[in-house]
Chains A and B, each alone.
Chain A
């Protein structure tokens, strides 16, 4: 089932096109990482998904129902858009109580569960204005997840969290996803997105320039073996004779851009050693999402 579906979604602010004909499909249980530079159109897209701003063109479907004024599935959706916020003069627990009421839910167990999940127990009676940014972020996420939504839309949810907090939230989101929650998440911490997303969408200047699953990403990211020997010219020559396609990179090291070279690095090492030029550097390299993202954006700009 397509939990999120957009059809030619566009948003114009006067002459500026913030989002241009975006088509997104997110299946149930997927974690969709939405990546883009500042001002690329991520937040505008997210706000359109949540009905906060009206598209200039196109349609949004959530759970198969078109997002109109009569949309009925708001309690299936949890969200956190941009900076986390709370009523400053209310405690963590009071803020959560208000939010539960706004969702027309009454069971106090929702609050206790979410306080436990996000380790907010010791802060539950602290006023929101006295919380650190990290704990405020936890409270924001707790509000988004208080009602166990089937779809979670998160805009930069990892901001302000310390490294351990980031790991905790990542693991928690993975767990939610395994339990069937669909997650649409934007973040500039691409390494973290890469660790949890099952599908990645890259938005640039309002356009969705690339959309790929983690399997497709795996195939498209650069994988290479970097080699350095005492005689790189000779090494290149004999590697070519062996059928590899080595090149010299900008640092004057040898690169074999081929996934097979990574799995056969031991064999290559032995081959070079037997030919009297043992490598002093033999380094497998796998491109990270961040680098893939920059490469995709640059390609788009060219």
Chain B
């Protein structure tokens, strides 16, 4: 445990002056900001030019402009999709950076175990994702108060926040296969390529009726983004598929780092 703590401190220090941290925070902040803009435009349709797609969209969407819609649709559902991209990027960076910085060899023959170093990376990944989630939640409240959204109901909002963090938890768990690809392919590119592939499949699988069994579709379905009907389709097998992906990613990553040839 002490080894993991030391390695975690080291991992956190590596982020010092890292511009990637700020890029991810700014990118992820687009969810509440863009959600806020949409809310504002729905509230004030006169501001949208006639030729804009938004004009059609806002008329089709007919979303009520209130706290519940804003937090459940833009924040929680946004986390189910944009979260996969942002957290996938974080995992690619945390696990792939040693190869792009060429520092991975420095971590291999030490009194600190490889297992501790890898788990420290997972801790930093989880902390980073949680910080992103919290920062977006705070930003959402700021945007909501600026927009003077109506319909504040503390209990319902608390339930939405609970669902938001549950969605975040699901998305964070999907970082383990990304971490494996970062180590296996030694860098950022392969995990980002894998991320693009699974995102495409995550959008395609629900069309085949298999979305509830595809791990990367599950957070969006759980968040309600794909509709209540699909959400009801989530069953024990869905969560088994999800769990196998999460655990498989973790075990493969550990085994590769511990037992694979580090050329």
Contacts and interface: CB of A to CB of B under 8 A. Distances in A.
Nearest to A85: B102
A77 interface: yes
Nearest to B7: A102
B75 to A, nearest CB: 31
B17 A101 contact: no
A273 to B, nearest CB: 61
Nearest to A128: B101
Nearest to B115: A69
A82 B106 CA distance: 11
Contacts of A104: 3, 6, 111-112
A250 B17 CA distance: 63
B109 A90 contact: no
A53 interface: yes
Interface string A40-54: 000000010011111
Given A98-B10, A101-B10, A87 B109 contact: no
Interface stretch (B64-72, B121-129, B217-225, B255-263): B255-263
A51 B109 contact: yes
B103 A86 contact: yes
A79 interface: yes
B17 A89 contact: yes
Contacts of B111: 74-75, 103-104
Interface string B140-156: 00000000000000000
Given A87-B14, A89-B16, A101 B108 contact: no
B131 interface: no
A99 interface: yes
B121 to A, nearest CB: 13
B18 interface: yes
Contact of A102 (B10, B16, B262, B263): B10
A88 interface: yes
A277 interface: no
B54 to A, nearest CB: 39
Nearest to B6: A101
B110 interface: yes
Given A94-B16, A98-B10, A102-B10, A51 B108 contact: yes
B30 interface: no
A83 interface: yes
B16 A90 contact: yes
Give the interface size bracket for B toward A.
Answer: 20 to 34
A99 to B, nearest CB: 7
Interface residues of A, number: 30
A103 B13 contact: no
Interface in B230-263: 258-259, 261-263
A74 B109 contact: yes
Interface in B1-35: 3, 6-7, 9-10, 13-14, 16-18
A90 B10 CA distance: 12
B134 interface: no
Contacts of B108: 50-52
A81 interface: yes
A87 B99 CA distance: 11
A143 B109 contact: no
B57 interface: no
Contact of B105 (A52, A69, A75, A90): A52
B37 interface: no
Nearest to A52: B262
A261 to B, nearest CB: 49
A47 B109 CA distance: 10
A59 to B, nearest CB: 17
A98 B101 contact: no
Contact of A87 (B9, B103, B105, B259): B103
A51 to B, nearest CB: 6
Contacts of A103: 110-112
Contacts of A88: 101
B107 interface: yes
A51 B10 CA distance: 22
Interface string B180-206: 000000000000000000000000000
Nearest to B263: A53
B262 A98 contact: no
Nearest to A89: B17
Nearest to B19: A89
Contact of B109 (A50, A86, A89, A94): A50
Contacts of B13: 90, 94, 97-98
A229 B189 CA distance: 68
Given A51-B109, A75-B111, A79-B109, 15 more contacts: A50-B109, A52-B105, A54-B259, A85-B105, A86-B103, A89-B17, A90-B14, A90-B17, A98-B10, A98-B14, A99-B106, A102-B7, A102-B10, A104-B112, A127-B17
Nearest 6 CB-CB pairs, A to B?
A85-B102, A53-B261, A89-B17, A50-B109, A52-B262, A74-B111
13 contacts: A50-B108, A51-B109, A52-B262, A74-B111, A75-B111, A83-B102, A85-B106, A86-B101, A98-B14, A102-B112, A103-B111, A103-B112, A104-B111
Interface of A: 47, 50-54, 69, 74-75, 77, 79, 81-83, 85-90, 94, 97-99, 101-104, 127, 143
